[in-house]
Amino acid sequence: MFRVVIPARFGSTRLPGKPLLPLAGKPMIQWVYERARRSGAEQVVVATDDERIAQRVRELGGEAVLTAATHASGSDRIAEIVLREGWRDSDIVVNLQGDEPLMPEALIDQVAALLAGHASAELTTLSVPLDSVASLLDPNVVKVVTDAQQRALYFSRAPIPWSREGAPHGLSSQRSCALAQRHLGLYAYRVAALLRLAALPPSPLEQLEKLEQLRALEHGMDMRVAHAAVAPGPDVNTAEDLSAVAALLQAGR
């Protein structure tokens, strides 16, 4: 069994009020919440810093908890919920980010099962192969590189891994995205690992790349990565993403 917590911050830099932006007749947070409810989770909680988001979730009959506005990451916000609720160290919590309205519920179940099946892992997450050089070069697309046992080695907004032979004349000449994997914004943690992570200060690489998962890697935590069992939809980082996702939802995606 596992729980899902959806961190939903109002003050997004690129899209202020992002969880409440309309998508095909519903606010984004409603799409995300409904996806989570269709998973195998025993409980779904929205963790937010804004009463407007909490109120909208409660109107759906959902559970929303107000958290501090000072958290550096979604993981830190979830840790506040874990401590408040007193969940056991061995419990599994899935972090479903609030800008993933097209995240298939099958992947929520997969990332939780992946952690349950790896006794030595502290966190798990998912990836999909990149299908274009444009995505490889896009800083809004986070890439992940793993070792032979599928332990995460590094996450970056930069184009990794880099095909030297595919770019004989520098960055703009790249023609290959071989072996590149897009990281999905979905994690599972054991409560003990989550609380350890949240007790650590933001790390240098985390602050540089603006990627919270790098804190775990910088402190030697075991994070396993699996290929997503089904294809996910895009997340929402920009106004262009919002329009594209709205079109997919209207088409019945």
DSSP, collapsed to helix, strand or coil, labels residue 171 as: helix
Mean pLDDT score across all residues of the chain: 93
Question: How confident is residue 253, by pLDDT bands cut at 50, 70 and 90?
Answer: low
Helical H segments across the chain, by residue range? 28-37, 51-59, 74-85, 105-116, 133-137, 191-199, 204-209, 213-218, 239-250
Residue 234: which pLDDT band, with cuts at 50, 70 and 90? confident
Residue whose structure tokens are 């998508």: 23
9 has pLDDT over 90: no
Would you place residue 237 in the very low, low, confident or very high pLDDT band (cuts 50, 70, 90)? confident
What is the amino acid identity at position 29? I
R_g (Cα) of the chain, nearest Å: 18
Q: What is the mean pLDDT of residues 106-120?
A: 97
The Cα–Cα gap between 146 and 156 comes to 12
The whole-number pLDDT of residue 101 equals: 93
Q: Which residue, chain included where needed, has tokens 């919270």?
A: 212
The answer for residues whose C-beta is within 8 angstroms of residue 66's C-beta and 6 or more apart is: 48, 49, 50, 51, 54
pTM: 0.92
Using the predicted structure, report yes or no on whether residue 251 has a pLDDT greater than 80.
no
Q: Six-digit token pair at 148?
A: 């032979």
149-178 pLDDT, tens digit per residue, is 999 999 999 999 999 999 999 888 999 999
Higher-scoring residue by pLDDT: 11, 151: 151
- pLDDT surpassing 90 at residue 140: no
pLDDT confidence bin for 136, thresholds 50/70/90: very high
Query: Is-contact 48 19, C-beta < 8 A?
Result: yes
CATH architecture of 2-126+183-250: Alpha-Beta Complex (3.90)
